[in-house]
């Protein structure tokens, strides 16, 4: 009986997982509350809180037993430059955070989201009237995307399935300074770029607006996407957009001729302002958006490596 109980428990847990391990609003909210708290000071590039956010992601990757895929453990350090405003400390040390789920496959799917935001409003691109010294919490932009990244990590590591593709999960640094982390990665890849099947990016997926729906960009970056979208349904409304670049880190992958998808719930009054707070995020809708992303990834995995197509 002593050894039967753990056996029984693991059997029950395994079956529970296969039913219930989809992204959960409670987990999303927990990650967002942590990353967008005032103590995190807006995760500005080069700040102590920025590196604290990176370490938070690395800790989760370790919990899910991802293989470190940075240059120093999970971290890939790089120097970024503030370009939009004149500041004394224009060169800032930061990093990408990379975890790998090795399924022994030939090709790898990249899932990404940037973890940095505007800090205390001294690095440019704030829309506040007097941004300097104000905490730009960045709950939607992009604690929501990082929470999505972590819940997809949990899903793919705990779903009890060995997929026909590997997964590389990346939290990018310095996106707000001009996609610097993702560009650094594609120029210094830790997985060969020609082994990447496609890349999905989440940037601002926390403010679902039922009038607009969630936008899914990159639809034109492979001739296979229309077939992959076929039959995918959701309780949230979504629409596609052909563009492969524009606005976020997927653009760095598109520039290297890698098919992409980009999830985005759209602009709002708190965009790049100190009022982009955690309590305004719709975690229920975000979980439903992540389910769409999972359905698309799972459909795409039924196909061989996707062919890139330039968006005209």
**Residue closer to Zn ion (CB basis): 166 or 201:** 201
Q: How far apart are CA 166 and CA 126, in angstroms?
A: 37
Residue 248 Cβ vs Zn ion, minimum distance, rounded to whole Å: 6
Query: In angstroms, how far is the first alpha carbon of the chain from the final one?
Result: 65
Q: Nearer to Zn ion by C-beta: 141 or 282?
A: 141
By beta-carbon proximity to Zn ion, the closer residue of 157 and 244 is 244
Instruction: Provide, rounded to whole angstroms, the least separation between the CB of residue 230 and Zn ion.
Output: 30
Which is closer to Zn ion, CB of 29 or CB of 207? 207
The minimum distance between CB 117 and Zn ion, in angstroms, equals 7
Nearer to Zn ion, 107 or 184 (CB): 184
User: How near is the Cβ of 114 to Zn ion at its closest, in Å?
Assistant: 6
Interface residues with Zn ion (CB under 5 A) are: 141-142, 203
CB of 206 to Zn ion, least distance (A): 11
Angle between the 283-300 and 145-158 helix axes, to the nearest 10 degrees?
A: 50
């Amino acid at each position: 009986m002593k050894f039967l109980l753990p056996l029984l428990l693991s059997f029950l847990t395994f079956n529970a997982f296969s039913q219930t391990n989809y992204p959960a609003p409670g987990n999303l909210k927990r990650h967002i509350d942590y990353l967008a708290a005032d103590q995190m000071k807006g995760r500005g590039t080069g700040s102590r809180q920025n590196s604290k956010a990176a370490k938070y992601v690395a800790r989760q990757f370790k919990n899910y037993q991802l293989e470190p895929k940075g240059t120093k453990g999970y971290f890939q350090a790089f120097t970024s430059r503030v370009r939009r405003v004149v500041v004394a400390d224009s060169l800032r040390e930061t990093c990408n955070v990379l975890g790998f789920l090795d399924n022994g496959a030939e090709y790898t799917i990249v899932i990404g989201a940037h973890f940095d935001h505007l800090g205390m409003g001294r690095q440019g691109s704030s829309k506040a009237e007097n941004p300097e010294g104000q905490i730009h919490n960045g709950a939607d932009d992009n604690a929501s995307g990082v929470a999505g990244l972590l819940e997809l990590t949990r899903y793919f590591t705990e779903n009890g399935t060995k997929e026909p593709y590997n997964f590389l999960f990346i939290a990018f640094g310095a996106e707000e300074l001009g996609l610097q982390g993702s560009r650094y990665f594609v120029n210094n890849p830790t997985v060969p770029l020609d082994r990447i099947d496609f890349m999905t990016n989440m940037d601002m997926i926390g403010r679902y607006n039922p009038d607009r729906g969630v936008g899914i960009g990159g639809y034109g970056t492979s001739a296979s996407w229309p077939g992959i979208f076929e039959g995918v349904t959701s309780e949230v409304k979504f629409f596609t957009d052909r563009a492969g670049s524009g606005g976020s880190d997927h653009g760095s992958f598109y520039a290297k001729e890698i098919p992409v998808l980009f999830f985005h719930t759209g602009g709002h009054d708190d965009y790049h302002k100190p009022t982009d707070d955690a309590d305004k995020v719709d975690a229920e809708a975000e979980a439903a958006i992540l389910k769409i992303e999972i359905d698309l990834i799972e459909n795409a995995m039924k196909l061989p490596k996707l062919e890139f197509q330039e968006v005209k």
